[in-house]
Amino acid sequence: MDAVKVVTFDDGSNIITRITELRDKEGNSICFQIRYPFSLASEQDESGDTKVRFGPYNIYTQDTEIRIPFNAVRTITNPKQFIYEKYLEVIAPFDPVYAEKMLTEDPTNVDAPAAVENLEPNE
């Protein structure tokens, strides 16, 4: 089963996505498959609050599932809870069953370590 994670690539860019490891018929790992990836960016507003922005991962494709080689990935981490919840809101129109299930049944991201430590939700 896949999970919602923050993926940091070798170039330092970050995405939030559903990610799973693909395997061949013999069970050997092939690559990662990401679903509904969104780029993550942060910026500070005039008051000094940090805001997180979601953007398209790849503006040149309409694909919602993409295969990624293992060596392109630097880290895979759990998102902060408010980023996780916002991601589920963003993908809900595309995958409402998954989003609803994860919002109600997935407690694993609540106290998980975050990929970015200095982000706080904006009220």
113 or 45, greater pLDDT: 45
The pLDDT assigned to 95 comes to 80
pLDDT 10s digits, 75-119? 999 999 999 999 998 888 888 777 777 776 644 443 333 333 333
Distance separating alpha carbons of residues 123 and 120, to the nearest angstrom: 9
**Which of 2.40.50.200, 3.40.50.300, 2.30.30.100, 3.30.565.10 would CATH assign to domain 3-105?**
2.30.30.100
The pLDDT assigned to 10 comes to 94
Distance separating alpha carbons of residues 109 and 111, to the nearest angstrom: 6
Write down the domain spans for the chain: 3-105
Distance separating alpha carbons of residues 71 and 104, to the nearest angstrom: 33
113 or 47, greater pLDDT: 47
